[in-house]
Chain A
Amino acid sequence: METLKIKTEAPKKKQSKIRISGAEAIIHCLLAEGVDLLYGYPGGAIMPVYDELYKFQDKLTHILTRHEQGATHAAQGYARVTGKVGVAMATSGPGATNLVTGLADAQIDSTPLVCITGQVPRHLLGSDAFQETDIIGISTPVTKWNVQITKASEIPEAIAKAFYIARSGRPGPVLVDITKNAQFDEFDFSYEKCTGVRSYNPYPKPDIGAIEAAADLINHAKKPYIVWGQGVILGQAEEQLKALVEKAGIPAAWTIMGASALATSHPLNVGMVGMHGNYGPNLLTNECDLLIAIGMRFDDRVTGSLDTYAKQAKVIHFEIDPAEIHKNVHADVAVLGNSKDTLDLLLPLINENQHKAWHQVFQEKYQIEFDTVIKNDIHPTKDGLTMGEVIEEINLASENKAVIVSDVGQHQMIACRYAKFNQSKSNITSGGLGTMGFALPAAIGAKMGAMDREVVAIIGDGGYQMTIQELGIIFQHQVPVKIVVLNNDHLGMVRQWQELFFEKRYASTVMVNPDFVKIAEGYHIQAKRVSERKDLKATIQEMMASDKPYFLEVKVEKEDNVFPMIPSGASVSDIRLK
């Protein structure tokens, strides 16, 4: 590890050196990075650090999750709602391997995370020691960066670099693995924040030529169309996006990760793209003459078949990560850089415009979708409850102000389709990895990161049982999250595919569920079940009015499907309304 080279600012206010243990140094590093909350689970190889956490508990709150995976998702929820780096900690071996799903989720969804794992003492490395696992090898493909530390003196530089890398550029998860001897050993501690790594260029300098070319295409387009992603949120470019949309009069749609960057109610916000996105935004991708992609990566769930994706259109790609340019879709103009910087440079070059006739086409398509799908989803006339009407009631009761944390599956698609947002960083979901079990711990992290906001977790009966044990945190710390389980007694999305593509062979998708209300009550959480429409509104209002944790199970129709739908591998033009 002699190669840890950190370019730091001139050491003007260099901390005086104090002789402390590696474990205590870790705490000081976290405090220096502004961390006041972390999630984790103790064990043999990380015990010296927990001993220091005990001493520093007035400055640094550690939340004991009930599983290490919960620690990563809670840290993710915290990071996504605050924009800060989430921190998770675990011991070696199984503690470390239990972090892997969260790391992979944070990697694909660009969430800044620093995970610290304990490791067996240096002299036991490679000996198949108790609870030894090669977490560096295991986590390499799912981390932005990782490093193993075997000497106490290496800790400050490594942690400084970890935070810098996690939060800068396209954010991502970093893992720092620290052997137990390095936690015990004493050294002369001082801390300097990392301000650069010579081999790493987090913010490519915007190319003015590319921005001018983009402006020229936008100014001359007849049917321009914006699709934005999470890059707008991560780059804090919400105002710039709004200004561009309004100045140039361009209809704009969002990927699931970009949701809430522009208010749902904005007249030029035309909805969601993707497999279960809105009808017009998908269909019209293949009718626009200019596709302006901002901070999105053309995921296959967004594009469907690439052979038939926006072939008629010129494409402008605003993107911070050079590896994304031309990866899936060829960009006629690629604008590298942080979305806020590039849009700031673009805006003065854009002519004021309106594309009323073109925008009208989106509204016509919306009307078709409303009549065939949306109306029945949110104002159903049949007896059984729909997921859509539950989301609509939450919108009403929360006045569109809640942070919605969704899990993965049908309820996620419904939540993202129908939840209304008037504030950025309000839609927290596992987009890229599709991690069932994400929502409950992520909602806990989100609530702890934004105590002034209402946080509602929308979870299916399948995913809920993957991390249900985190109810323990809610109970222990009285975290006032609202948990809504939309129970259809099935793994709904898989069942939907079985119905549509596997001739209704429902292999292992029928769930035999426990009494969820009793389980919540076992954790002393107020809990209710709603099975009939007449009770829905009042119960949701009661839930939202509560200042305590609240669990609500809604028994919904067992075999409802989510539409529209672009079948896997089909063209966005082949979107089905039923």
Chain B
Amino acid sequence: MKKAWFTISVYSENNVGLLNRISGIFLKRHINIESLNVSKSEIDGVSKFTIVTYTTEDWSRKIVRQIEKQIEVIKAFYHTDEETIFQESALFKIASNLLFDERQIQNIIKENHSEIVTVARDFFVISKTGRRSEVDKMYDELKPFGIMQFVRSGRISVTKDVMEITALLNGFHEEA
């Protein structure tokens, strides 16, 4: 079966050991977690894991069922890239002198629709939000000038379709 990118969304209780349980499900099957983000969700008290994997749909389905089986998981889904709106964020730390010495840097910032977050005496920080390919493009453009530090977040995503979970969770929320 063909491999593709899948975004797995997990709605769960906010529990200390749950990340360990979920990561163990991937570990057991030798499926790499390409990116991971944990945040609160649209429902108070409910956490959301956003996990990106490169695997087959069959495995995505099986993994989602195994995740859902965990006691503190309320619901889990998998989606293809086409079914979601998704982004990543990145921060670049660059030496301050480059901003003044290398005119090209300012163009890179503008052309990539990124923004300067802070400027200090020795360095400045650029933030870029977008798809992985856009962040990578900017990285490649800045690399020749020297990047002091670089970090990229996990993918965050929302689905185009209504998540059936929202109503279910709202129901839980009212009960609680």
Cβ distance B169 to chain A, nearest Cβ, rounded Å: 10
B32 interface contact, C-beta 8 A = no
A10 interface contact, C-beta 8 A = no
Q: A5-B13, A322-B65 are in contact. Are A140 and B20 (CB under 8 A)?
A: yes
Residues facing B in A309-335 (CB within 8 A) are: 321-323, 325-327
0/1 interface trace, chain A 3-43, chain B, CB 8 Å (1 if under): 10101000000000000000000000000000000000000
Contacts of A147 in B (CB 8 A): 17
Q: Report how far A340 CA is from B13 CA in the complex, Å.
A: 31
Q: Report how far A33 CA is from B79 CA in the complex, Å.
A: 42
A357 interface contact, C-beta 8 A = no
Q: Report how far A136 CA is from B69 CA in the complex, Å.
A: 18
A146 interface contact, C-beta 8 A = yes
Q: Report how far A423 CA is from B175 CA in the complex, Å.
A: 44
Kindly specify which of B70-78, B100-108, B124-132 makes contact with the partner chain: B70-78
Q: Report how far A144 CA is from B61 CA in the complex, Å.
A: 20
Cβ distance A214 to chain B, nearest Cβ, rounded Å: 21
Q: A3-B13, A140-B21 are in contact. List 12 more A-B contacts (CB 8 A).
A: A3-B15, A136-B20, A147-B17, A198-B176, A199-B73, A199-B74, A200-B72, A323-B65, A323-B66, A325-B65, A326-B61, A326-B62
Q: Report how far A327 CA is from B29 CA in the complex, Å.
A: 13
A569 interface contact, C-beta 8 A = no
Smallest CB gap from B45: residue in A: A3
Q: Report how far A165 CA is from B70 CA in the complex, Å.
A: 11
Residue contact A199 to B72, C-beta cutoff 8 Å:
yes
Residue contact B17 to A146, C-beta cutoff 8 Å:
yes
0/1 interface trace, chain A 117-157, chain B, CB 8 Å (1 if under): 00000000000000000001100110011111000000000
Cβ distance A459 to chain B, nearest Cβ, rounded Å: 31
Cβ distance B158 to chain A, nearest Cβ, rounded Å: 21
Contacts of B14 in A (CB 8 A): 3
Contacts of B62 in A (CB 8 A): 323, 326-327
Residue contact A197 to B74, C-beta cutoff 8 Å:
no
Q: Report how far A198 CA is from B28 CA in the complex, Å.
A: 27
Contacts of A198 in B (CB 8 A): 74, 172, 175-176
B53 interface contact, C-beta 8 A = no
Contacts of B176 in A (CB 8 A): 5, 198
A1 interface contact, C-beta 8 A = yes
Residue contact B66 to A136, C-beta cutoff 8 Å:
no
Contacts of A5 in B (CB 8 A): 13, 176
Q: Report how far A140 CA is from B74 CA in the complex, Å.
A: 18
Count of A interface residues, CB-CB < 8 Å: 24
Cβ distance B16 to chain A, nearest Cβ, rounded Å: 7
Smallest CB gap from B66: residue in A: A323
Q: Which of A7, A140, A146, A199 has the most CB of B within 10 A?
A: A199
Residue contact B28 to A141, C-beta cutoff 8 Å:
yes
5 closest A-B pairs by beta carbon, nearest first, are A323-B65, A199-B74, A145-B71, A323-B69, A200-B71
Give 14 CB contacts A-B under 8 Å.
Answer: A3-B14, A5-B176, A136-B20, A137-B20, A140-B20, A140-B24, A145-B72, A148-B16, A197-B71, A199-B72, A199-B73, A323-B66, A323-B68, A327-B62
Q: Report how far A140 CA is from B70 CA in the complex, Å.
A: 11
Q: A137-B20, A140-B20, A141-B28 are in contact. Are A199 and B13 (CB under 8 A)?
A: yes
Smallest CB gap from A174: residue in B: B71
Residues facing A in B23-76 (CB within 8 A) are: 24, 28, 45, 61-62, 65-66, 68-69, 71-74
Residues facing B in A181-204 (CB within 8 A) are: 197-200
B9 interface contact, C-beta 8 A = no
Q: Report how far A136 CA is from B21 CA in the complex, Å.
A: 10
B7 interface contact, C-beta 8 A = no
Residue contact A199 to B12, C-beta cutoff 8 Å:
yes
Contacts of B66 in A (CB 8 A): 323
Q: Report how far A466 CA is from B12 CA in the complex, Å.
A: 41
Q: Report how far A197 CA is from B72 CA in the complex, Å.
A: 8
Contacts of B24 in A (CB 8 A): 140-141
Residues facing A in B74-114 (CB within 8 A) are: 74
Smallest CB gap from A7: residue in B: B175
Q: Report how far A3 CA is from B175 CA in the complex, Å.
A: 15
Cβ distance B65 to chain A, nearest Cβ, rounded Å: 4
Q: A321-B69, A323-B66 are in contact. Are A140 and B12 (CB under 8 A)?
A: no
Q: Report how far A198 CA is from B74 CA in the complex, Å.
A: 8
Cβ distance B133 to chain A, nearest Cβ, rounded Å: 34
Cβ distance B71 to chain A, nearest Cβ, rounded Å: 5
Smallest CB gap from B28: residue in A: A141
Q: A141-B28, A146-B17 are in contact. Are A322 and B71 (CB under 8 A)?
A: no
Q: A198-B74, A199-B74, A321-B69 are in contact. Are A1 and B16 (CB under 8 A)?
A: yes
Cβ distance A557 to chain B, nearest Cβ, rounded Å: 40
Smallest CB gap from B64: residue in A: A323
Q: Report how far A198 CA is from B174 CA in the complex, Å.
A: 12
Cβ distance A133 to chain B, nearest Cβ, rounded Å: 15
Residues facing B in A488-510 (CB within 8 A) are: none
Q: Report how far A394 CA is from B19 CA in the complex, Å.
A: 50
Smallest CB gap from B25: residue in A: A141
Contacts of A136 in B (CB 8 A): 17, 20
Q: Report how far A144 CA is from B62 CA in the complex, Å.
A: 18
Cβ distance B64 to chain A, nearest Cβ, rounded Å: 9
